[in-house]
Each structure stands twice: as structure tokens, then as C-alpha cells.
Copies of this chain bind each other. A is one copy, B any other.
Amino acid sequence: MTQNIYDNAEFFAGYSALLRSREGLAGAPEWPALRAMLPDLAGRKVVDLGCGFGWFCRFAREAGATSVLGLDVSKNMLARARETTADPAIAYRRADLETLDLPAAAFELVYSSLVLHYIVALPALLAAVHRTLVPGGRFVFSIEHPINTAPGDPKWVGDTWPIDRYFDEGPRTTDWLAKGVVKQHRTLATYFNALVATGFTVLRLEEWGPTDAQIAAHPEWAHERQRPPFLLVSAAR
């Protein structure tokens, strides 16, 4: 079973208080950039890996998806997600993304927001995603940028983000909302080459940073222009 930090009471309380939890997609600063990388959802079957409170699943339905499957390992997240919709075309299911098993050629879009950097068995997950996509289907996901996950002691020093251990791939334990949250650091090239090795064609990369308009509305985001906090990827089977 994958790390299930979202069912840690302290973490869940902290996570629930974040802007992106209270306001959903509109509270996630990288959402406009990620949304711009999505294919047309009308008439499509969609799966969301790590669906959390189900914000994206509900968005996908509003955008015309015929069915949406939201998967998450957290019972807390799934319970809250199920409370927010009576839409019979949205299904929520508990799943361990470390051992994902989905039917072949079942979806036109696999979506995942800020989840893959928790996964240990990334090649197996990519293979499962590739298998469950129809030919030409899309895999659109975001992760914490490797520049962000590399440091052994991640922190701002003035306006700079000091990097070390970039090539030292593996777990990084940080205290974020709760003690002992474990992320898996990989280089950007490792993510890219794993996608290609699985059979994907990478269509677009975005290293998200706030726009001038976003900084005007949220001056506290200005330092995110110094280094990319998120990496967004669009790939085609």
C-alpha cells in the first residue's frame, strides 16, 4: 500500500484548510496552465489518479465527459468527494496507485494532479496508464518540479532556492502539514525518459510559475518566479 498521509488526522486537517482544498481548482494557481493542456473532454471517458475531494471529476463532467472515475487511496478524501455529488456518471473508488490495475483501452484521458511524486513504482504506474488509454488518448499530469524535490533541506534562503542532491534520486522526507511526509525525488529526465520508454509521446511541458496578474492578486506567490514549483506534462499514447 502506498503512503497514505491523507488519512493522517493532522495532515488531513491541514490539507483541508489549504486554498486549493477550500476553493478547489480555482484555488490552485497552476490550474489555468494545466487546464490549457487538456484535450476536449466532450464525450470522453476520464479517470483521475489521486482525485482527492473530486474537484477535477466534477469539472470533467461539467466539460462534457460522459463518465469519470476518481481513484484515491485516502478514505477521508473519498468520503468527502462522495458527499459533493449525486451524479451517477461520476464513480469514486479506493485504489493503490502503486499497484494500479485498470481495464485496457478504457479511457480517453488519464489525469493526475500532484500525485506522481509520491509513487515509488513509477514505471509500473506509467505502464498501467498507457494500457488503459485508447490509442491517441492523453495523459495530463502535474508533479512537484524536480528542482523543488531535489534538496536534502528544501527551503528558501533569501530570494534563492538552493539546490543539492539533484542526481540523488529516491525518498525525501519533509515536514509539510504533518511530520514525515515522504516524496520520491526523480530528475526531470527520468520522468521524461520513463514516459518515452513506456510508449508515450510527450507533447508539451510546462514549468509553472505565477503570472504577473497572479502575483498582483497574491503577492506572497512572487518568490515562485525564482524557481518552478510544479512541472506539468501532456503526453499521448
Contacts and interface: CB of A to CB of B under 8 A. Distances in A.
Interface residues of A, number: 32
State the oligomeric state as a number of copies. 2
Contact of A163 (B168, B188, B193, B226): B226
A202 interface: yes
A228 B147 CA distance: 10
A209 B167 CA distance: 7
Interface stretch (A75-83, A122-130, A153-161, A170-178): A153-161
Contact of A203 (B187, B196, B203): B196
A214 to B, nearest CB: 12
Contacts of A225: 165-168
B207 A164 contact: no
A29 interface: no
Interface string A77-96: 00000000000000000000
Contacts of A207: 166-167, 187-189
A20 interface: no
A interface SS class = mixed
Contact of A205 (B150, B151, B189, B204): B189
Contacts of A101: none
A206 interface: yes
10 interchain residue pairs of minimum CB distance: A160-B162, A167-B209, A164-B226, A189-B205, A162-B162, A189-B207, A163-B227, A192-B205, A160-B164, A166-B227
27 contacts: A147-B163, A150-B227, A159-B164, A160-B162, A160-B163, A160-B164, A161-B162, A162-B163, A163-B163, A163-B227, A164-B227, A165-B226, A166-B207, A166-B225, A166-B227, A167-B209, A167-B228, A188-B188, A189-B205, A192-B202, A192-B204, A192-B205, A193-B204, A193-B205, A196-B203, A196-B204, A202-B202
Given A168-B225, A189-B205, 18 more contacts: A147-B163, A151-B160, A162-B163, A163-B226, A165-B225, A166-B207, A166-B209, A166-B226, A166-B227, A167-B225, A167-B226, A188-B205, A189-B207, A192-B202, A192-B204, A193-B205, A201-B201, A202-B202
